[in-house]
Amino acid sequence: MRDLTIAIDGFSSTGKSTLAKLLAKELGYIHIDSGAMYRAITLYAIENGMLRGSEVNEFELIPQLDFLDIHFEFNPQTGKNEIYLNGENVEERIREMEVSSKVSIIAKVPEIRDYAVQMQRKLGEKSGIVMDGRDIGTTVFPNADLKIYLSASAEARAIRRYEELLKTEHPATYEEVFRNISERDLMDSTREVSPLKKAEDAVEVDNGQMTPQQTLETVLQIIRERFGA
Ligand code: DC
């Protein structure tokens, strides 16, 4: 089978990154979590006092984007492509609630989206890539070989994210997580630039009742049928 470009989109906590990571491992591809880029920019803005309440200081932040060093490095211990911000591994810090609750503010700024999309397309120049996000099949790679749209109910997603956070140093209550997911759903689907929507040619997979392994198997089956792997 030739190397494919695979786009995985869907609401937060649908298991996009988990699927993308497993799929990349199975196929020997690279995995890029595009949401991690928006999260890293959010962390940078918070740490440098450019994000107060729900206000982002775009005039200060946008000119600084060109000088940010955001890149991924594969960690063989976690099996994940982890994100670095200006030389520091911020893979864990970008998942904390403070970043999660502010990232939608950053992700709706058109100049920030342009910057991220450019980086994502550059990373996708070589095929053999699985990228997950919100606008990968619609904006970043409209010609992707395969587009998967993952869905699951808000309750199922909140339980998953809550359980994930319990394992970290920064747990949150189920109510906080549910509220955060509902707010992000609304912002992701109603923002003006690149709102989350299913690409016309995407295959929808509802994995609310599936384990990560079952989701992987479902998508591998689609790949076998389409590309004969
Ligand atoms: O997938 P995630 O929850 O880590 O994404 C973090 C935020 O970034 C989320 O609020 C939506 C936004 N995002 C986006 O707008 N476009 C993408 N391609 C990926 C993420």
| pLDDT 10s digits, 8-57 | 999 988 999 999 999 999 999 999 999 999 999 999 999 999 999 889 99
Helix 174-190 / helix 154-166 crossing angle, nearest 10 deg:
130
- What pLDDT band is residue 127 in, cutting at 50, 70 and 90? confident
Interval 192-202 mean pLDDT: 92
- What is the per-residue pLDDT for 193? 87
CA 165, CA 176: separation in Å to the nearest integer? 11
Q: Which residue has the higher pLDDT, 8 or 100?
A: 8
Q: Is the pLDDT of residue 122 over 90?
A: yes
Give the per-residue pLDDT at 188. Answer: 86
Mutate to test the pocket of ligand 1, among 100, 131, 134 (most ligand atoms within 8 A of CB): 134
Residue 209 above 80 pLDDT? yes
pTM: 0.93
Which residue ranges make up each domain of the chain?
5-227
pLDDT at site 129: 97
Determine which residue's CA is closest to atom 1 belonging to ligand 1. Answer: 35
How far does Cα 89 stand from its chain's mean position? Answer: 17
* CA 156 to ligand 1 center in whole angstroms: 18
Q: What angle do CA 41, 46, 51 make, to 5 degrees?
A: 95
Out of 12, 31, 141, 196, mutate this one to test ligand 1's pocket (max ligand atoms within 8 Å of CB): namely 12
CATH 1.10.10.60 is held by the domain 5-227: no
Q: How far apart are CA 203 and CA 199, in angstroms?
A: 9
Tokens of 91: 């893979």
